[in-house]
């Protein structure tokens, strides 16, 4: 009797397995392919084309493997299960994301590649010799460094202080180094300064930097209660997408508006005929997309020009990465004109020419700590 | 049965010959001339024969050294970069006394990995071009091509050598 039950069970298991093997390919054949994963924020592999060449050189087989991995039904669920399982067995950070306390997801520490950093700092220092502006540099430390109490007990060391000190020494005499770590630390006592599910700072974090920069650049920083805040819920950012920890709670974004400002935003993309203008610093169309962060100044573009007719003077040019998108929405309330140049998109035009054309008096270099080391686009700075 | 097997073997040999014939006109051009191609020659041929979504422009050799982090490199190189927001580019590096093929290939792979990391954040739809980027290593040359048609680029580049 037991033997019969055992045989029946084995047969049932074999049948179930065969059904699984038969059904999954049917799903792959008949269900429409997805081209993009909004959760993971990446393009998914499409059905490969068979050719004699691709069959002979093996690329067809590897393309099929990638296709199945990307298009298998319930992919997000499988990826998420794998990610949670990895953390359960102690592989927290293996995928580049450390799962911390209170729902925080941190990028693992940046590697201090001194050769790469030296190249970038040399390019910046050389550029400073060609312009007649007051020059500042602000480097945003990583969330894991600033929020050490949110990290798990065991984690890699964040070398942010060492890197920031090195940068400060290397630009001495060329740029005023704006150290925002103390300001961020003080703000973190009462505010959330970094998103839990994204590597960027929040509006509160950017505001701490805005106030600190005021002390260097000589403008009067607006107090926090002068801003009208709009709250946007449901933001899942870069670290969420990379981690696949799908049950992490979303963040709240804040849009800070100073009612007295009279703002015009003009966005230009080099190589494109299109110019976008707006009377708002916030592009709410972006809130419907897979990436909500471009609500701040429509994300990254070659050149973004913000003019505030309620402020009489002061022209600031920011050479930047995406951290500036939030900060610039605050700086725009204290300068007549703020120009943002993203060298990932501004390669063929002259930044020194732009400085001369607009009569820029203050230059701010603003990067996250990983990009100031690893970005290779500073070679376009001229 | 034996006749069928012979016919099948003959057909297989024919297919093998077709495979060796890949590269077409470019391959014939390369073999027709005895002079080795310069880095700029190679880059020009790739630029002419491969589809790019972006506008590429020739950049100074110093830019290539900086971008690929090749300190002290003195070899023959050529570098075409995109002018807009895509990762498309062509980079050709010939070996010098301090940079052999292995070192140049490492630099190329590091560059592509870094670009994948960067573009994953701010332009994820460009990442497939990088994931399928061509990094060709020859006897004394490394060629990198990120384009809208990396398969054609791969065939074309292999046909040049």
Interface predicted TM-score (ipTM): 0.72
Q: Rounded to the nearest 10 degrees, what angle do helices A181-188 and A160-170 cross at?
A: 150
Asked whether A151 and A99 are in contact (CB, 8 A), the reply is no
Query: Which of A345, A374, A381 to mutate to test binding with chain B, by most B CBs within 10 Å of its CB?
Result: A345
Q: Do B118 and A344 touch (CB under 8 A)?
A: yes
* DSSP state for residue A155 in the 8-state scheme: -
Contacts of B31 (CB under 8 A, 6+ apart): none
Continuous H helices in A36-139: 52-57, 59-71, 75-88, 114-128
Rounded to whole angstroms, what are the CA distances from B161 to A210, B27, B33, B100? 56, 7, 12, 18
Stretch A87-115: mean pLDDT: 93
Chain B residues inside the 8 Å CB shell of A299 = 122
pLDDT at B10: 62
Chain A residues inside the 8 Å CB shell of B128 = 43, 45
Task: Tell me how many residue pairs between chain A and chain B have CB atoms under 8 A apart.
Answer: 64
For B82, which residue in chain A has the nearest alpha carbon?
A347
- Please tell me which of the candidates B15, B62, B120 has its beta carbon nearest to residue A52: B15
- Please tell me which of the candidates A271, A344, A376 has its beta carbon nearest to residue B55: A271
Q: What is the pLDDT of residues A172-189, one digit of tens each?
A: 999 999 999 999 999 999
Domain boundaries, chain A: 2-76, 101-380
Chain B residues inside the 8 Å CB shell of A322 = 121-122
Q: Do A344 and B122 touch (CB under 8 A)?
A: yes
* DSSP state for residue A154 in the 8-state scheme: S
Q: Which of A347, A339, A352, A285 is nearest to A308 (CA)?
A: A339
Taking the CA of residue B34 and the nearest CA in chain A, the distance in Å comes to 29
For A302-315, the DSSP string reads SEEEEEETTS-S-E
Chain B residues inside the 8 Å CB shell of A45 = 128
For A200, which residue in chain B has the nearest alpha carbon?
B121
Taking the CA of residue B108 and the nearest CA in chain A, the distance in Å comes to 13
Cα separation, B145 vs B21, in Å, equals 22
- Please tell me which of the candidates A43, A271, A375 has its beta carbon nearest to residue B84: A271
% of chain A with per-residue pLDDT over 70: 99
Q: Is pLDDT of A2 > 90?
A: no
Domain count, chain B: 1
Q: What is the pLDDT of residues A219-274, one digit of tens each?
A: 999 999 999 999 999 999 999 998 999 999 999 999 999 999 999 999 998 877 77
For B64, which residue in chain A has the nearest alpha carbon?
A379
Taking the CA of residue B32 and the nearest CA in chain A, the distance in Å comes to 25
Chain B residues inside the 8 Å CB shell of A242 = 120
pLDDT at B29: 40
For B115-119, the CB contacts below 8 A with 24+ separation are B115/B87, B115/B146, B117/A374, B118/A344, B118/A374, B118/A375, B119/B87
Q: What is the pLDDT of residues A349-364, one digit of tens each?
A: 899 999 999 999 999 9
Range scoring the smallest mean pLDDT among A72-81, A205-214, A338-347: A72-81
Stretch A280-295: mean pLDDT: 89
pLDDT at A1: 60
- Please tell me which of the candidates B69, B83, B84 has its beta carbon nearest to residue A115: B69
Cα separation, A236 vs A253, in Å, equals 10
Residue ranges making up the domain that contains B81: 2-160
Q: Do B84 and A344 touch (CB under 8 A)?
A: no
Chain B residues inside the 8 Å CB shell of A41 = 120, 124
Q: Do A379 and B122 touch (CB under 8 A)?
A: no
Q: What is the pLDDT of residues A155-168, one digit of tens each?
A: 999 999 999 999 99
Q: Do B63 and A379 touch (CB under 8 A)?
A: yes
Q: Do A56 and B19 touch (CB under 8 A)?
A: yes
Burial A168-199 (b: 16+ CB within 10 A, else e): bebbeebbbbbbbbebbeebbeeebbbbbbbb
pLDDT at B24: 36
């Amino acid at each position: 009797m037991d033997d019969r039950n055992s045989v029946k069970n084995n047969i049932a298991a074999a049948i179930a397995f065969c059904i699984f093997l038969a059904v999954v390919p049917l799903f792959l054949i008949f269900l429409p392919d997805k081209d993009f994963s909004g959760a993971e924020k990446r393009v998914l592999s499409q059905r490969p084309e068979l050719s004699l060449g691709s069959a002979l050189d093996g690329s067809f087989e590897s393309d099929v493997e990638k296709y199945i991995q990307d298009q298998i039904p319930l992919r997000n669920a499988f990826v998420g299960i794998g990610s949670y399982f990895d953390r359960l067995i102690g592989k927290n950070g293996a995928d580049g994301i450390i799962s911390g306390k209170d729902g925080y997801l941190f990028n693992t520490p940046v590697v201090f590649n001194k050769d790469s950093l030296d190249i970038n700092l040399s390019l910046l220092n050389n550029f400073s010799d060609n312009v007649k502006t007051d020059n500042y540099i602000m480097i945003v430390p990583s969330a894991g460094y600033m929020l050490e109490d949110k990290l798990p007990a065991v984690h890699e060391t964040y070398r942010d202080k060492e890197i920031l000190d090195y940068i400060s020494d290397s630009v001495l005499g060329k740029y005023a180094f704006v150290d925002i770590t103390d300001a961020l630390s003080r703000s973190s006592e009462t505010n959330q300064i970094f998103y839990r599910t994204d590597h960027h700072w929040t509006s509160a974090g950017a505001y701490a930097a805005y106030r600190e920069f005021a002390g260097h650049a000589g403008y009067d920083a607006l107090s926090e209660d002068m801003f009208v805040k709009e709250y946007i819920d449901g933001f899942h950012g870069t670290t969420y997408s990379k981690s696949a920890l799908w049950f992490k709670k979303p963040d709240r974004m804040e849009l800070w508006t100073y009612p007295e400002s009279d703002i015009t935003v003009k966005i230009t993309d080099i190589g494109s005929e299109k110019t976008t203008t707006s009377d708002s610093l916030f592009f709410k169309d972006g809130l419907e997309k897979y990436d909500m962060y471009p609500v701040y100044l429509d994300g990254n573009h070659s050149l973004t020009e913000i003019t505030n007719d309620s402020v009489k003077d002061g022209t600031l040019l920011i050479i930047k990465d995406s951290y500036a998108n939030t900060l610039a929405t605050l700086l725009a309330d204290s300068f007549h004109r703020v120009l943002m140049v993203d060298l990932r998109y501004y390669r063929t035009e002259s930044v020194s020419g732009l400085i001369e054309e607009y009569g820029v008096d203050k230059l701010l270099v603003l990067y996250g700590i990983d990009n100031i080391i690893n970005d290779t686009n500073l070679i376009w700075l001229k | 049965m034996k006749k069928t097997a012979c016919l099948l073997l003959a057909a297989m040999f024919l297919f093998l010959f077709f495979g060796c014939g890949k590269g077409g006109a470019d391959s014939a051009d390369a073999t027709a001339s005895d002079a080795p191609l310069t880095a700029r020659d190679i880059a020009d041929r790739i630029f002419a024969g491969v589809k790019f979504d972006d506008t590429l422009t020739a950049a100074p050799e110093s830019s290539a050294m900086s971008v690929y982090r090749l300190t002290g490199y003195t070899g023959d190189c050529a570098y075409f970069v995109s002018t807009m927001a895509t990762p498309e580019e062509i980079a050709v590096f010939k070996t010098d006394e301090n940079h052999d093929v292995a070192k140049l290939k490492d630099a190329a792979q590091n560059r592509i990995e870094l670009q994948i990391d960067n573009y994953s954040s701010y332009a994820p739809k460009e990442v497939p071009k990088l994931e399928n980027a061509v990094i060709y290593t020859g006897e004394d040359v490394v060629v990198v091509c990120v384009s809208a048609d990396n398969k054609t680029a791969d065939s074309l580049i292999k046909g040049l050598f």
